[in-house]
Amino acid sequence: MKSELRKPEWLKMRFGGAAHFAATKMLVSQNGLNTVCRSAQCPNLHECWSSGTATFLLLGDSCTRGCRFCAVTTLASPPLPSPDEPERIARAVGKMRLGHAVLTSVARDDLEDGGSSAWAETVIAVRRENPDTTVECLIPDFKGDQKALERIMSTRPDILNHNVETVPSLYEAVRPQADYERSLEVLRKARHDFGLTTKSGLMVGMGETEDQILSVLDDLADTGCRHVTIGQYLQPSPRHYPVQSYVTPERFECYRVYAEGLGFRNVQSGPYVRSSYNAAASLQPY
Ligand code: SF4
């Protein structure tokens, strides 16, 4: 299948200033770090890196899952995570003077703990090296492994982010190894068992209906989640799932209004929005 849709005007690439871009690029490469900005081909890369921000990708650059929307490389058995990655990330956060550090990772279903120990070590290292920096963890579902989830949640990140990504009827087609209810349960656990500020996100333009999007927002609100990102899905390559529609800025605005009506505190809804875009805006505890 190939996407035949032409990109609308509101999705033409923007370029920000280059003030910090080169510095961010050098820092990431000199420290041997992976970023989801690059691995997932984020359209905001130039803008974010130019403003000195990036989202670190933990546990290597290869994922054990094969979601059809994601540009990250899939491998059944990627190399073992580097033991000094937590320290390298912590140092990079300091050098970039990040007030808010966003951490995410590939899924490592091949590891016994799903990579949760490395996750916890990274949060602790970032905090130790940068006591004034807030930390957001955008985590995978760890196949619902309660111990793995608790290991991370007990580090008490300032924001616990877990994306539902799309509406439940599309899971089989685009993320067959995930489970919508399981993802809701991750958010519920973080909020109700740990009292964390929770956040989630989804992409639109994958063939879902508007009512299905509203229903996902209802479900998220029901878990206690109060921060959400909604962005346009973009096909990373011809072998990925094709874009089914380009959602208009007006429709994104309708989703924002609906979500705010449900009690969401921070709703980032727009064509370029990604789960870590303007992430510090979600730093409102509730
Ligand atoms: S939106 Fe997030 S993933 Fe994209 S470039 Fe910015 S920090 Fe990186």
CA of 189 to the centre of ligand 1 (A): 26
The per-residue pLDDT for range 64-102, each reduced to its tens digit, is 999 999 999 999 999 999 999 999 999 999 999 899 999
Spatial contact of 72 and 63, defined as CB atoms under 8 Å apart: yes
149 lies in some domain: yes
**How would you write the pLDDT of the chain (286 residues) with one tens digit per residue?**
445 688 887 776 555 556 678 888 988 999 899 999 999 989 889 888 888 888 999 999 999 999 999 999 999 999 999 999 999 999 999 999 899 999 999 999 999 999 999 999 999 999 999 999 999 999 999 999 999 999 999 999 999 999 999 999 999 999 999 999 999 999 999 999 999 999 999 999 999 999 999 999 999 999 999 999 999 999 999 999 999 999 999 999 999 999 999 999 999 999 999 999 888 877 766 6
Domain of 110, in residue numbers: 11-157
135 lies in some domain: yes
282 lies in some domain: no
203 lies in some domain: no
165 lies in some domain: no
Atom of ligand 1 nearest to the CA of 35: 8
20 lies in some domain: yes
241 lies in some domain: no
The per-residue pLDDT for 2 is: 47
Atom of ligand 1 nearest to the CA of 49: 5
CA 183 – CA 193 distance, rounded (Å): 15
Nearest CA to ligand 1 atom 3: 37
> Is the distance from the beta carbon of residue 234 to the nearest atom of ligand 1 less than 6 Å?
no
Q: Mapping DSSP to helix (H, G, I), strand (E, B) and coil, where does residue 24 land?
A: helix
